[in-house]
Each structure stands twice: as C-alpha cells, then as structure tokens.
A and B are shown apart, each in its own frame.
Chain A
Amino acid sequence: MTGRLDVDVSCAIGDLQLDVSFDEPVGFTALFGPSGAGKTSTLDVIAGLRRPSRGHVRFDGRTFVDTATGTWVPPERRRIGYVFQDARLFPNRTVRGNLDYGAPRDGRVRFDDVVDVLGLAALLPRAPATLSGGERQRVALGRALLADPLLLLMDEPLGAVDVARRIATLAWLEAVRDAFALPIVYVSHDLSSVLRFTDRAIGIDRGRIVGTGTPESVVGACGAAAVGGVDNTIRAEVRARDTEAGTVTAVAGTLSLTVLDRGEREGESVVAVVPAHEVMLSADPPGRVSTRNVQRGRVARIAAIGPRRLVTLDFGGTELAVEVVAPTLTDLGIAPGVELFALIKATAVRLIRTG
C-alpha cells in the first residue's frame, strides 16, 4: 500500500536549519542519514509535533500544514502513527492500557490481530517499567497500529536493542509491513536494515535532502556521511555438527557457512550475522587459505557508499553483501553476473537462534 508524501518545509531547530523538500510515494520508505541530520525533526514536522516556519506537508491529497494558506491540522487529527525511539509508553498504564489508549471503537485494526502479529499476549498485564527495550518498542508499535493510522512513522526502531534483539525486531517489522499494509516511513542510520527492508529511501544530511530513490542509490548519495558497517542477516538452517572440530554448518540457498559451535542443534533455524567488511573476495579459486568457508556466488548488484563499494553476491536466492574499496572492482573485473569466491572466516560469523 502506498501514499504520496509531499513535504517542503523549513524550520530552525537549535543549531540545525532544516530545509527539507521531497515528494515521494511511500511504501516502506527509509529516511536515512547520520546522527543529527534532522531525521527525527522531519518526522516531528510530518506528525505535527513541530510547526514549520515555512512550507507544507501533504499526504495523499490531504494538507496537514501549509503556511501559505494558514492551514494547520493538529497531530490528533492527522491519523499518523508515530513509534518514538524511546517508545514513550504511559508508565501508569499496563501494556493492555497502552494498547487501548488510542484505539477507536470502529477501527479497521483489530486488537487480537496486533497482539498476535507482535506476540504481545504474555505482556498484556505487565507494567512498561518491567519490559525490555525490544518489548517496549513492540508495544509502542502495537499501540500506534491500534490507533488506526493511514501512515506510520518509526524513529530508529532498532536503536535501543542489541544485535540479537535487532534480528527479532526486524522480523516483527516485516510481519507488520505484510499484515497491515500500511505506508511506513522508517528512520534509521543503520545501513543493513535500510538496504534489506526498505523499497525506497530518502537521504538526509545536515537538514537537507541529499537523494531519493532506491535504497542503494540513496545510501550511495549519502557518501561519506553514511558511516557505519553493513551486517548481513541471513536466515539459515543448521545442517551438520562436527563435535570434534567444534563447528556447525548452517545452510541458506547454496551458501553454506561453517562456524563455531555454540550449542546449536541440527535442524534448528538461525540467523547468521555476517559483517560485510569481514568477507574477502577472490576472482580465482583460492589455494590453501585459513578461511573455513570458500563459497562461489554470482554478483547481483553493486552499490556505492562514498568511497566504499557494496558488492551483493547471490547464492541460489540467498544474498550476501561484501564491502570493498572502489579499485577492487576494476582489479578483479567485478561486474553484475560475474562469478566470484567469497572467503568467510568461521569466527567472523555469529549465529542467532530464532527457534
């Protein structure tokens, strides 16, 4: 489900001068940029929590604010759901009380569906203070969904959670995206989640839009501002266990990863976290190397992130992004369709059980 979001606003926020202008269809769109770029302020303007000094915000033909005509729709009448980075659950209400807070009687979103999709049943009687960071985010997401919004804003939903929880949270986000068919603007400075989950991106830096389009192109346009590593998160299944060597082998598509055994069982579902900069590429079959995993894949696409290049290899439907510097592409003749060997150290991969 998509809607068109037309934003052209200016406002001063402390030291930051926000001059943001874009007119984009919103499906699952990332608002991407470094810390302090103005991402949260942009969401605040869209939601109506901050008044722009000039400009307009329109969504699907509805004008929320237009300083030229003096139009102002207060946040409570915009039907924009907002999942804040710090969740902002009401501390004096239980999880159920929080979920119920904004739910209209005749909303399209059903309580049971939200509880189901987000796995909140066991949390319902609990107080927010007793929840973990990831649980709070899920409740905040459920609360926003139950208010029956037409557009959902999410501010760094992965900010407050560790890597293991991040995988689980991303799974919830995917489930929500698929189950509730809502246009979502997703704020992040996390490269991996932007590249993996969003279908479009808006790049922002120092209060200005630096690019819109596919996530790859926007991440490229963000250039040096787009700091931070890319983690591959690959759904895999544990196939073999070598107790003597102390390793297990997880398989996804034609990619097989032999990694340190941390007690995973055969047949178990896991997510393999592979940092893109920990993988080496070789144009020819390597000789005797220490790397446990040498896997042949085909280049699907190449994206630029400033001086870095992200080469995505395909292994029978499973994708693995590998980070290299630009000259490597010419030296190895890397282009879409070319076959390469990926060298992945056993100790560089972390398996997270998803049970």
Chain B
Amino acid sequence: MWTSIWPSAEEWAVVGLSARIALAATAIAFVPAVAIAWGLARRRLPLGFLWLVAVNAPLVAPPVVTGYALLVVFAPDAPVGRALGAIGIDVAFTGLGAAVAAAVVAFPLLVRAAQVAFEAVDPGLEQAARTLGSGPWRVFRTVTLPLAARGVAAGAVLAFARSLGEFGATIMLAGSIPGRTRTVPLEVFALSQRTGTDASIARLIGCSLAIALVSLAVSEWLARRARQAVGA
C-alpha cells in the first residue's frame, strides 16, 4: 500500500525536473516583470496601455498560441534563434526552452501582483526619501521594493505555481523530451496514452497538486501580510 502511494524514483525525477524548470521560469520572469510592474504602477512607461495589453496577452491567449509564437522567434532557423545559437544558447527543444515558455505564460501573474504591490506604496514616502538624499534607484531599493516586497514575493510564488502546470506553450517550444523537458503535466499526458499507468498518474497529480496548493497558500499569506505592512 505504502509503495503505491509514495512516488517512484523515476516519478520523483519528473517532479524534480518540473520544480527546477518552474524555478528557472520564475527567475527569468522576475526582473523584467518587476521593472514593468513598477513602470505601470508609477505611470513611467510610454504607451503604458500597449504594455498592459502585451504583458497580459499570455493570460488570455491559448498557451499553444503563445508557444507557437515563441517557436517562431526561437526556432534554430529563425533570426533570434540563430543569433542565440551562435553564442551557444539553444532555446527550442531544451530545458531552457521549457523555462522560457513557462516564464512567458506566468509573466502576467507576476506583473499584476507586483503592480498592485507597488501601487499600494505611498509615493509620498518616495518623495520623503528623495529629500533625504536618495536618488531614484536608491529610493527604489530602500523604500519602494522593501515596502512592496511581500506583494512581489506573493506574485513570484504564484508565477512558480503557474509554471509548474504549464503544458501547451512548453510542448510547442520545448517538446516532450524525457529527462529534459518532460515536466509533470507532459508526463501525465504521455502516461495517459498508455494502459496500466493509473497509479503513476495519480501519484504525479498528487505531487503537483500538493506543490501548487502549498504555493497558493504561501502566496495568499504573503499578499495578506503585504497589505498589513503598507497599511501600518
């Protein structure tokens, strides 16, 4: 009974790969998402509305379409893909590609959470910091980001959870290569094509649900603390 509930070594490897790719995706998305969120919150981006639409497009576009668009950009024979390949970076059909696909799909979640967090920071505090001798970058590092930190972290955890479940864009850009790009959702899909895999599928689904729900709980907890921090 115990052995049928506890995942096998192969299944753990798939879960581990998924977690690594989701972490990489969150890391890739983090800096640009935070920068854009700040720009949107403080109305510092020219053509702000277009940014808003572009950033949020992956939220409403079918992931397969997002993946196809990424493939058009990063395919080895496309200009961007060829340029990156020339310096030794292969995106299409690699683990990096899986991370890029997940990063793009999770991007809007991170931007939206961070934007709300930045908007909650009183610009008056930033002005006060300026009069105390801090330039714009130091103000961001010492006032804005620390006050928005919990909200930004909540967004990052949410993006991580979303990356774990990414399927459509991943399979388009990175394929489903066992041990390299075959994350939990792709493995579940592959297993479902065969018979006698129900127990394995159940264990994988259990793992991914557990990680996703814990992430969501952490995200919500952080978001709540974030509101308290700014309200204080």
Contacts and interface: CB of A to CB of B under 8 A. Distances in A.
Interface of A: 47-49, 74-82, 84, 86, 88, 90-92, 101-102, 104, 127-129, 143-144, 147
Given A91-B230, A129-B232, A76 B125 contact: no
Contacts of A128: 232
Interface residues of B, number: 19
Q: Which of A76, A82, A84 has the most CB of B within 10 A?
A: A76
Given A92-B146, A92-B229, A127-B232, A143 B124 contact: no
30 contacts: A48-B130, A49-B127, A49-B130, A74-B130, A75-B127, A75-B130, A76-B130, A76-B134, A76-B135, A78-B131, A82-B128, A82-B131, A84-B127, A88-B124, A88-B125, A90-B143, A90-B147, A91-B147, A91-B229, A91-B230, A92-B229, A92-B232, A101-B129, A102-B129, A102-B131, A104-B133, A127-B232, A144-B131, A147-B131, A147-B133
Contacts of A104: 133
Contacts of A88: 122, 124-125, 127-128
Given A75-B131, A92-B229, A129-B232, 7 more contacts: A49-B127, A49-B131, A76-B134, A90-B125, A90-B147, A101-B142, A144-B132
Interface string B113-128: 0000000001011011
**Chain A contact residues, majority secondary structure:** loop
Contacts of B230: 91
A88 B130 CA distance: 12
Nearest to A129: B232
Interface of B: 122, 124-125, 127-135, 142-143, 146-147, 229-230, 232
Contacts of A81: 131
A319 B122 CA distance: 44
A51 B142 CA distance: 24
Contacts of A80: 131
Contact of B133 (A49, A76, A84, A86): A76
B124 A86 contact: yes
Nearest to A149: B131
A81 to B, nearest CB: 7
Nearest to A101: B132
Contact of A84 (B124, B146, B229): B124
B125 A102 contact: no
A102 B139 CA distance: 11
Contacts of B134: 76, 102
